Amino acid sequence: MNNLTFSSPNLSSFCQLNKLGLVATGQHITESHAVLECRFTKLPEPCPKCLTYGVSRGTVDRCLAHVPYGQRTTTLLLRIRRFSCACGCFWHEDTSSAAPPRSKLSYGAIRWALAAIVIDHLSVSRVAAHLGVAWHTANNAIINEGQRLLFNDPARFDGVTVLGVDEHVWRHTRYGDKYVTAIIDLTPVRNKTGPARLLDVLEGRSKQAFKQWLQNRPQPWRDKIESIAMDGFSGFKSAAEEVIPKAQTVLDPFHVVRWASSMLDDCRRRAQQEILGRRGHKSDPLYKNRRVLLTRISYLTETNKKQLTRLFSDERHLEVDCSWSMYQRVVTAYNEPDRRRGKKLMQELIKLITAPDLPIELIEVKRLGKTLKKHAQSILAYFDRPGTSNGPTEAINGRLEHLRGIALGFRNLTNYIARCLLESGGFKKQLHP
């Protein structure tokens, strides 16, 4: 600190008025509000018609919300000079250096509001309260600046080689949920250079919506896409195969494991009904061990292993025993450190549960086998492409859920899409390097 060079206090520099072409000439400060009287530092402009310098005809006032300081809302009171000349023309000073036309916020306030949303994750209502303006005024300014500075950046889609796509519930209604399709850039995750980022949000969750978005991208951009991570929805897969046939679709491990766990739960419930003719009670062996059945083998305690041994010693639970074994093989394949061995284990499992001599009593296992065989190519592609997973996509879905909670819900889809991009579009480095 002793090496710093100090200068005289300057209100214009402190409030960054010099960047707006302004200088502070007065102040009025209360506990909650500050008004800074300002004038422009540039020389007067000549008459727009005859190009001669006019005579001053007083000033008019314009108020602009500015960056808040010290928990106070700050207002800039601009004294705008008026001029007239011999040709009968009247004009005002150009205010474009301080704020956009007809705007109630200065350029500094707009940039501060955008950073508060993207970096600090504030709600629009809190930003509006700090600036001392209406909600719609703050929201429109934030979205317009986001469009100009961030969304319309032609370099935003550069370098994308791995995509993630998933559906997302954006609004819950009494007549059903409303969905959108979220498209994620997974390239930074695959290359280990940073987190995933949201590329776009599409209305609806259909094959046509995703296909149309891909078709709207330039052909050179599509040619660079190597793989697309997705869930088991066939619409996304067929859209990708039709528009980008060279890109490999990758099925996320989370969904495959969920299919296997659902298979095991369905088998347990069916066995429960066949043995006792009712749903499980807390004292029933199958119901009591339902969570232990879904636990990975390496996480089982000695007590858990004894519980499973007693459970499978009952011949009536043989089908559950077989289903549990298949479920554990799915988990083991994905947790194998050696990707080649993991792929081989998954291939052996798919071959085993789709074999024609599989006992007919294993209804749920056969059903799982049909599903895995249908998506075998996408399932096995995961082992050849480390880092290509829908996990980051689900993480961004969680952040969007949090965003909806902060805003107490959204009614306008356009506002929701814009806020989603600001929240998860990876723009922090652009606003705060």
- Answer whether 339's CB lies under 8 Å from 384's CB: yes
Number of domains in the chain: 3
Residue where one domain finishes, among candidates 32, 64, 98: 98
Nearest alpha-carbon partner for 105 in 81, 123, 91, 124: 124
**pTM (global) more than 0.75:** yes
Token digits for 47? Answer: 């008459």
CATH at residue 200: 3.30.420.10
Regarding whether 171 and 196 lie in a shared domain, the answer is yes
- Answer whether 396's CB lies under 8 Å from 198's CB: yes
Regarding whether 217 and 313 lie in a shared domain, the answer is no
Domain of 213 in residue numbering reads as 155-252+389-431
Domain for residue 121, yes or no? no
What angle do the packed helices 253-276 and 318-335 form, to 10 degrees? Answer: 170
Regarding whether 369 and 420 lie in a shared domain, the answer is no
Q: Residue 4's CB: how many other CB atoms inside 10 A?
A: 5
Residues contacting residue 408 through CB under 8 Å, at least 6 positions apart: none
Domain for residue 85, yes or no? yes
User: Within 13 Å, how many C-alpha atoms sit on residue 4's CB side?
Assistant: 4
Residues contacting residue 61 through CB under 8 Å, at least 6 positions apart: 77, 78, 79, 80
Domain for residue 128, yes or no? no
pLDDT in tens, 154-208: 888 999 999 999 999 999 888 889 999 999 999 998 888 889 999 999 999 899 9
| Distance (Å, whole) CA 109 – CA 74 | 9
Regarding whether 294 and 344 lie in a shared domain, the answer is yes
- Answer whether 167's CB lies under 8 Å from 182's CB: yes
Regarding whether 332 and 278 lie in a shared domain, the answer is yes
Domain for residue 292, yes or no? yes
Query: If you search the block for the tokens 């001669």, which residue do you land on?
Result: 52
Token digits for 305? Answer: 């292993």
Regarding whether 238 and 93 lie in a shared domain, the answer is no
State CA 223 to chain mean position distance: 25
Domain for residue 321, yes or no? yes
Look over the chain and give the mean of its residue pLDDT values, rounded to a whole number: 91
Regarding whether 243 and 172 lie in a shared domain, the answer is yes
Domain for residue 202, yes or no? yes
**Letter for the amino acid at 221?**
W
Residue where one domain finishes, among candidates 58, 78, 98: 98
pLDDT in tens, 41-81: 988 888 878 878 878 888 899 999 999 988 889 999 999 99
Regarding whether 289 and 231 lie in a shared domain, the answer is no
Regarding whether 333 and 278 lie in a shared domain, the answer is yes
Regarding whether 355 and 259 lie in a shared domain, the answer is yes
Regarding whether 369 and 267 lie in a shared domain, the answer is yes
Domain for residue 109, yes or no? no
| Distance (Å, whole) CA 141 – CA 147 | 10
pLDDT in tens, 147-166: 998 988 888 899 999 999 99
Average pLDDT over residues 302-326: 94
Q: Which DSSP letter does residue 194 get?
A: S
Residue where one domain finishes, among candidates 369, 384, 399: 384
Residues contacting residue 261 through CB under 8 Å, at least 6 positions apart: 294, 327
pLDDT in tens, 91-126: 888 898 999 999 999 999 999 999 999 999 999 999
Domain for residue 116, yes or no? no
| Distance (Å, whole) CA 371 – CA 266 | 15
Regarding whether 394 and 248 lie in a shared domain, the answer is yes
